[in-house]
Amino acid sequence: MLYCSTRGEEQPRPATRAVLQGLAQDGGLFVPAAPLPRVALEPLLPLDYLQRAAAIIRPFLEEFSEAEMESMVRKAYGGGAFRHPSIAPLHRLDDRLYLLELWHGPTCAFKDMALQFLPHLLNAAAAKTGERATAVILTATSGDTGKAALEGFRDVPGTRVIVFYPEEGVSAIQRQQMVTQEGGNVHVAAVRGNFDDAQAGVKAIFADGALADKLACRGFKFTSANSINWGRLLPQVIYYFSAYLDLLASGTIKAGEKINFVVPTGNFGNILAGYYAARMGLPVGKLICAANQNNVLAEFFQTGLYNRNRPFYRTISPSMDILVSSNLERLLFELSGRDPAQVKEWMRLLKEKGAYQVHPAVFRAMAAIFWSDWAGDDETIAVIGRTYREYGYLLDPHTAVGKAVYDKYRAATGDDSRTVILSTASPFKFADSVARAVLPPAQCAGRSPFELLPLLAEATGAPIPTPLQKLEQLPVRHRTLARKEEMPKVVLDFLGVN
């Protein structure tokens, strides 16, 4: 399988090159150049997560042997980093509705599903291509990617990791997770502004040829751990299949029965993996894109207008506080009939006017599989409380946005197909919002999120995930604060290049 750029100006190249490079030189994103492989479900039924993973992603990574593939998968998912034997278990809420828990990894958010795998893929790709340069993993984070990248790459030979997070845009627990990160090859810096500023700063560094040349002379080469990297998306396809297979294996659904997936969405990476899964033959009814008050995507799927000219809100689901969803470009490429000229035109309009409108045929194609709406913070808190009272189950705020939007979908369409909500974070990672939703106000008042962890555990009987238990006591190791324009300097300083 070869990979081409969504903007059409790069020679197709093998997966190893595409993942080492991260972003295409023409500013586009790498996508499979050939139609996606079809996956036969039947043979995967008796397999475990690791075996299913190897079988599903192997056709995308043809340069690797079966043994190499299995080794990567084993290091990612079989080495004890995940606290649940099923890796991504389903939790049944009722007959119709299931939660796919994607947060049993080391950082308690779904980013681990991909970022525990990516370092092994990059290492194997570097070995295969004879790449000697040290890979500099440059990442902008809305909170969860940064920590997951740091954990995935810490002390991985041949790599350095630099994470930029928006100073004001992450939760207290997310910040503490990042600034206490250990590892000899890691660096963390806060950036003044919001996630879009941090992401724009990282994209500018990637596009800076002079900087790249300077670093190349010193043996460094940038790559990305954001979901703009194909190696991030691919492992996310696996759990859509595993969820379906688990429902099939338990007799909950019949072979061929279509199910819906609800995905709390920010940068559009997670739900795009679901779209790819559907294109690979997974029986998917609707992909329900759940947004928070930063509701660009909800408007886009309802009207065909993508318009980032609007206020940016800081919400209680910070990992979804995004106005420019990078991965949408990959969907647009597919929906436009793989027309790079069209994609470039939309991206030009987005850059110059902050908005573009797709034509009716494209809109019809997206409406056939996507449905979208959004929920504000008050609704999110109410849903956490209601779900806890009805089912005794704690939702984190991102997953709760998913549940709120699912309720709207049911009410609007009457569709009662079996549905899986992707649960993207542990409720303990966002203890303050969750506590506010389920504990009496007097119990929460004046307490830090760290103080709320044991109260939540006690009230609900759910254990605090081990990585969060001692977090507050860890020493702070990273204190850099930079303006967006200073980001290149932060990179050079950390790498010791001047």
Q: Where along the sequence are the contacts to ligand PLP (CB under 6 A)? A: 109-111, 144, 227, 264-270, 319-320, 398, 424-425
| Shortest Å, Cβ 328 to ligand PLP | 10
Q: Which of 274, 246, 272, 273 is nearest to 260 (CA)?
A: 274
CA dihedral sign of residues 486, 487, 490, 496: negative
Put residue 52 in one of left, alpha, beta given phi > 0 → left and psi -120 to 50 → alpha.
alpha
CB-nearer residue toward ligand PLP: 223 or 426: 426
CB-nearer residue toward ligand PLP: 126 or 400: 400
| Shortest Å, Cβ 317 to ligand PLP | 7
Contact 391, 374 (CB under 8 A): no
How far, in Å, are 23, 30, 51, 221 from residue 229 at the CA level? Answer: 6, 8, 23, 15
CB-nearer residue toward ligand PLP: 236 or 342: 236
Give backbone dihedrals phi and psi of 272, rounded to 5 degrees, phi first.
Answer: -65, -35
CB-nearer residue toward ligand PLP: 126 or 404: 404
Six token digits for residue 215 = 């670093």
Contact 125, 133 (CB under 8 A): no
| Shortest Å, Cβ 224 to ligand PLP | 14
| Shortest Å, Cβ 440 to ligand PLP | 26
| Shortest Å, Cβ 270 to ligand PLP | 4
| Selected catalytic residue, list 111, 203, 403, 408 | 111
| Shortest Å, Cβ 11 to ligand PLP | 28
CB-nearer residue toward ligand PLP: 44 or 324: 324
CB-nearer residue toward ligand PLP: 124 or 316: 316
- What's the DSSP call for residue 109? B
Single-letter amino acid code for the residue at 19: V
Q: Which of 331, 281, 285 is nearest to 306 (CA)?
A: 331
The gap from C-alpha 87 to its chain's centroid, in whole angstroms, comes to 16
Contact 244, 282 (CB under 8 A): yes
How far, in Å, are 91, 282, 359 from residue 47 at the CA level? Answer: 19, 17, 43
Say how far apart CA 111 and CA 204 lie, in whole Å: 23
Q: Does the annotation mark 111 as catalytic? A: yes
Known catalytic residues are 111
